[in-house]
Amino acid sequence: MRSTPPSRSCPGPSRRAVLRAGVLGAFGLALDDVLRLRSLSARQNAYGTRPTLDGTPRAKSCILIWLSGGPSHIDTFDPKPDAPGEFRGEFDPIETSVPGVRISEIFPELARVLDRVTLIRSMTSPEAEHDRASHHLLTGYRPSPALVYPSMGSVVSKVRGFDASTLPPHTAIPSAPLFASSGYLTPAYDPFAVGGDPNQDGFRVRDLTPPDRLTLDRLRRRRSMVATLDRFAADAVIDTPLTTSRDSFADQAFDLLTSGAAQEAFRIGDEPQPVRERYGRTQLGQSLLLARRLVEAGVSFVTVNDQGAGPVGWDTHLDNFPMLRDTLAPPIDRGVSALIADLHERGLLDETLVLMMGEFGRTPRINDAGGRDHHGRANSLLLAGGGIPAGLVLGATDAHGDQPVDRPVSPSDLAATVFTALGINPEHRFETPDGQPIRLVDSGHAIQELS
């Protein structure tokens, strides 16, 4: 059991950002002051004194970098230079900033920040089909015919609640992976998909600023009329997970539209050019930068959904090696190393858990098309920040990278680890709409070495 007190190393930046945004916001001071104060006090509650289902938080927020399609573990973090040619692949391992730990040459920048990172080389799941494996990795539960389980992000957002920030507590950039959803929880905890491409000039989130002719005063009046109507109709349209979610979305929309601070967080164009360059002027790089801005502004769980250059993402059944080397790896290498360094320099790394993974690893044997196929038994993932130890490599796979031979870690263990880092007791139970109590994690335990 972890006894470290909640991280208080850097209470400042996010609140300062809110203050600055409030003053500079588009709607003048009077109304903003009220909203800002309300959201500030809510935030202090959420981060300071509010218990989070009996856990002790170390991290305030989590950035999940989802490598959609399933990256090859052997060609990224678990190289097998001594395996026969049909397994080894084309890439050589390189030294990293952790003596003795080598990763694939396609990640030279990540190699330099590896001392701030922990690798798990023994993630394992029986699922090797995209949707089923995504469900397993993103929720910690194997897919069930009876129930869709909530993603880690949805669980975190339910525990943290909506008052932690005016911003949606669970946000995906630019889109949400399948099964990053709220599952049996209400859709209110679905990720808010930002949409668009943060790397494009003039990037903005649609409908986030009300029409000019609509004054804030009038918007507030209308909001209270909606509340009255909904009260009148409470008997006609009963509370269900869907109806209350819709109310919750409407509330969030009103909050966002009347909060300059919230809108400020999405204005990636305000970042200095060197910072934007540092993350790389790619969709992925700028998505990671936007993720940093959002956690600074109080978003609890940000998913950056990396789909590579096209619909198949990291699903390299064909031409695995050129795809990885030329297309998939470079934006990740630059962007994620910049994110880790930037968070560290800002003093935010301790309170931000960074997690990078895909739904499965890929087959050790290279197929006839120069690709690798789905492989659930072995998968590698990267963790950083959030108060977990750095510079570790946990677990190992056999000589061909076929399955773990040491310290196998299940998706359920991973979920327990993430929840524990964020101060959520994995033993806690939520109820499904028809009243079944369900544990937050299936049967897993937080990884001891990381707590």
Partner 1 sequence: MPSRMVRLSWLLLLPGVLLASGCGGGSGRPAEGPGADSLADRPAPPAPNEPNSDLAPASEPAEAPRRPTLVLEPSSVILPADATGVQVLVTRMNPDGTRRDVTREAVAWRTSSDDRVRLEPSGYLVPNEGGQGGTETVTAIFEDGDSVSAEVVVERSAERPWDFATDIVPIFTRFGCNGGSCHGKADGQNGFHLSLFGYDPAADYRSLTRAAGGRRLSLTDPDSSLMLLKGLGRIPHGGGPALPSNSEAHRTVREWIGAGAPEHRGADHGQLVAVEVVPGDLRLAEPGTHQVRVVARFADGQQRDVTRLSRFEVRDDATATVDDRGLVTLLRRAETDLIVRYRTSVISTRIGTRMNPGLEFDFTAIPRRNLIDEHLFARLEALNVPPSPPADDAAFLRRVSLDLTGQQPRPDQVRAFLDDPDPDRRVKLVDRLMADPLFVDFWHLKLGDLLQISQARFGDGVYRYNDWVKEQVASNTPWDEFVHTLLTALGNPNALDGGPVNYALEGQDAREQAELTAQRFLGLRFRCAQCHDHPFDRWTQDDYYGLAAFFAKVGRAIPGGDGMMAPGDVRVNPEGTIAHLRTGEPAVPTLPGGEVASVDAEIDPRTVLADWIVAPENPYFARTAANWAWAQFFGRGLADPSDDLSDSNPPVHPELLDALADDFVSHGFDLRHLIRTIATSEAYGLSSRPIPGNEGDTRLFSHQAPRPLTAHQMADALAQATDTELLFNLGRGSQGTLRSSKAVQVSDPAIPSVLLDTFGRCPRVAGCSTVATPTLSLRQALLLVGGNAIDDRIGRFDGYLSGLLELEPSHAEIVENLYLRTLCRKPSAEESEHWSALLDEADSVRDASEDLFWALLNSREFAFNH
> Where on the chain is the footprint of partner 1 (CB under 8 A)?
126, 128-129, 132, 145-147, 168, 187, 190, 192-193, 195, 206-211, 213-214, 218-219, 221-222, 225-226, 228-230, 232-233, 235-238, 240, 242-243, 245-247, 249-250, 252-254, 256-257, 374, 403, 432-438
Nearer to partner 1, 76 or 252 (CB): 252
Measured CA distances, 135 to 96, 149, 169, 445 (Å): 32, 8, 20, 18
Nearer to partner 1, 36 or 130 (CB): 130
Nearer to partner 1, 307 or 417 (CB): 307
Give least dist CB 402 to partner 1, A: 9
Q: Which helix (H) or strand (E) holds 338?
A: helix 329-345
**Phi, then psi, of 431 in degrees rounded to 5:** -105, 140
DSSP output for 243-307: HHHHHHHHHHHHHHHT-HHHHHHT-GGGS-HHHHHHH-SSHHHHHHHHHHHHHHTT-SEEEEEE-
Contact 407, 394 (CB under 8 A): yes
Q: Give the integer Cα–Cα distance in Å for 111 and 98.
A: 8
Give least dist CB 317 to partner 1, A: 13
Q: Provide the token pair at 186.
A: 């209400």
Nearer to partner 1, 30 or 236 (CB): 236
Give least dist CB 314 to partner 1, A: 17
Give least dist CB 299 to partner 1, A: 13
Q: Give the integer Cα–Cα distance in Å for 216 and 257.
A: 9
Q: Provide the token pair at 293.
A: 């801005």
Give least dist CB 298 to partner 1, A: 16
Contact 320, 350 (CB under 8 A): no
Nearer to partner 1, 154 or 417 (CB): 154
Q: Give the integer Cα–Cα distance in Å for 354 and 143.
A: 25
Contact 33, 270 (CB under 8 A): no
Q: Provide the token pair at 51.
A: 């218990």
Q: Give the integer Cα–Cα distance in Å for 140 and 379.
A: 14
**Bridge partners of 304?**
65, 173
Give least dist CB 445 to partner 1, A: 20
Nearer to partner 1, 147 or 275 (CB): 147
Contact 399, 425 (CB under 8 A): no
**Phi, then psi, of 69 in degrees rounded to 5:** 110, -25
Give least dist CB 5 to partner 1, A: 34
Alpha helices (H) in 25-128, listed in sequence order: 29-44, 85-88, 108-112
- 218 Rama sector, left if φ>0, alpha if ψ -120 to 50, beta otherwise: alpha
Give least dist CB 188 to partner 1, A: 8
Nearer to partner 1, 135 or 334 (CB): 135
Nearer to partner 1, 98 or 205 (CB): 205
Q: Give the integer Cα–Cα distance in Å for 111 and 103.
A: 7
Nearer to partner 1, 128 or 447 (CB): 128
Give least dist CB 148 to partner 1, A: 10
Contact 357, 14 (CB under 8 A): no
Nearer to partner 1, 93 or 241 (CB): 241
Give least dist CB 217 to partner 1, A: 11
